[in-house]
Amino acid sequence: MSERTVAVASRVGLHARPAMIFTQAVAASGVPVTIARSGGEPVDAGSILFVMSLGVPSGEEVTLAADGPDADRVLDELVELLATDLDAETP
């Protein structure tokens, strides 16, 4: 099992739009991924309800975990996504 830890960069944390973008990326990856707050139980990272229920604020670290042949690549991509302010307006 591969794991990565990353601080959530979005200014509203992992809620609404950032959670939707993140869970869509997880679903598109085809790899089962879990996400957990420090000391918390991991939840299905592909479920927007589970992800939003974590209540992760901006700047808090989360741990992502996945298993399988593409796990490292998928986790690297998801870490890059969470390390980006997904609330920033795109030109």
Within a domain: 34: yes
Given a contact cutoff of 8 angstroms between Cβ atoms, the answer to whether 85 and 10 are in contact is: yes
CATH code of the domain in which 42 resides: 3.30.1340.10
Where in the sequence numbering do the catalytic residues fall?
15
For residues 86 and 90, give the distance between their C-alpha atoms in angstroms, rounded to a whole number.
Answer: 9
Picking from 42, 19, 45, the residue whose alpha carbon sits closest to that of residue 10 is: 19
User: Which domain range does residue 31 map to?
Assistant: 2-82
Q: Give tens-digit pLDDT for 9-60.
A: 999 999 989 999 999 999 999 999 999 999 999 999 999 999 999 999 999 9
Split into its structural domains, the chain has a count of: 1
Contact partners, residue 47, CB within 8 Å, separation at least 6: 23
Q: Is the pLDDT of residue 89 over 70?
A: no
- b (16+ CB within 10 A) / e for 5-43: ebebbbeebbbeebbebbbebbeebebebbbbbeeeebb
pTM of the model: 0.93
Q: Is the pLDDT of residue 90 over 90?
A: no
Within a domain: 89: no
